[in-house]
Structure 1
């Protein structure tokens, strides 16, 4: 599968409240289940649309994106207090072992779904920590999001996370997306 990044010239689309029909603030909060002392990473944070939703509920929230231009846009909008911008690939995160209590990605798993990225998550997420993935499903009709041949099925995500040392605690296919929540084994 070809990996790509979201076109920064279309960054305004990342601020569209219509995105909540695929993952609402309440759903994301429920899935991540943050504690006030948690250190969390938003993988593929873009302009911070979902980062902003979790920021009030954690101690530190790393907005991870490979594009500095996305960080520039986010910075111009104003960063919430606990947010730190991190320019990095998921396969090469600048965090010490067991740093994160949780990580989440909303509609970006298809951009980083490699063995190297999931091994890196297993390194930086503490034992018992969780990773929440909401992404476009290969089983979807392709009306929204990337073409279906650039997406993964839920079963792929479950298997790939298991191979990296995670246990699935919640997995569901939906009309156009899937949700996969995993915990890192001890």
Structure 2
């Protein structure tokens, strides 16, 4: 059974993918999440998400190498992880929900492995990751400063952290602005954690796309 904290985080992430109508009512009921992992997976995998998430464009922008190891943090049912596995050498689908990870790993390519993480620890192998990818999840991590340190420890020399998250304004999809982190906030947090911004792309209608490397 998912823990109470993982259920709350799961619902918060699901809310971030739903249309804006009704968001506030859903958020008010986080302590009694109505969705099972299977129902949440349907939200994550809804074909209508592709229109604004543009997964193909995101994957192509990463320019993944066949020798690369990718960690998809908050992978859920594997929406991005499966796509990464077609281009990278090794992919870790990382999540705190074992039921979602079971879906991510079901019939997955041989180079995709799942990692059951903790809310405050991605449990990645030290010095083993080329690209850490975090999409629509960063604003749900509570102690991000400590979390960034753990991500840094997992990076290979020259490794990168890619952040895709919602602009901090009213949008037709995503959570209300109060739940979001602006791109400037993210840049400041990573700078304080010892990272530098090396790339910023404007390819998504509702989200920023930032790439960081350790200084």
TM-score over 0.5 for the pair: yes
Query: Aligned residues, how many?
Result: 182
Structure 1 residue 175, shift from structure 2 partner: 4.9
In structure 2, the residue matched to 1:61 is 91
Offset from partner CA, 1:86-108 (integer Å, 9 cap, x none): 01036323233321011112211
Structure 1 window deviating more from structure 2 (15-24 vs 95-104): it is 15-24
Gaps of at least 5 residues in structure 1 are: none
Q: Please tell me whether the aligned partners of residues 131 and 161 of structure 2 are also in contact (alpha carbons under 8 angstroms).
A: yes
Partner of 2:9: 4
Q: State the TM-score, normalizing by the size of structure 1.
A: 0.87
Matched ranges for 1:31-180 at <5 A: 31-76=61-106, 78-89=107-118, 91-112=120-141, 114-139=144-169, 141-171=170-200, 175-180=205-210
Q: TM-score w.r.t. structure 2 length?
A: 0.76
Determine which structure has the larger strand proportion and give its number: 1
Q: Deviations 1:121-163 (Å, cap 9, x if unpaired)?
A: 1111123111111111213x14312222111000011111111
Quickly say closer, same or farther: Cα 1:144–1:31, change in 2 above 3 A.
Answer: same
The runs of at least 4 aligned residues of structure 1 exceeding 6 Å deviation read none
After superposition, give the CA deviation of every residue in 1:17-59 in whole Å (9 maximum; x if it has no partner): 2222333233222332211111110010001011111101111
Secondary structure in 2 matching 1:4: helix
Matched residues in 2 for 1:148 and 1:41: separation? 27
User: Which ranges of structure 2 fall in alignment gaps of 5 or more residues?
Assistant: 1-7, 14-34
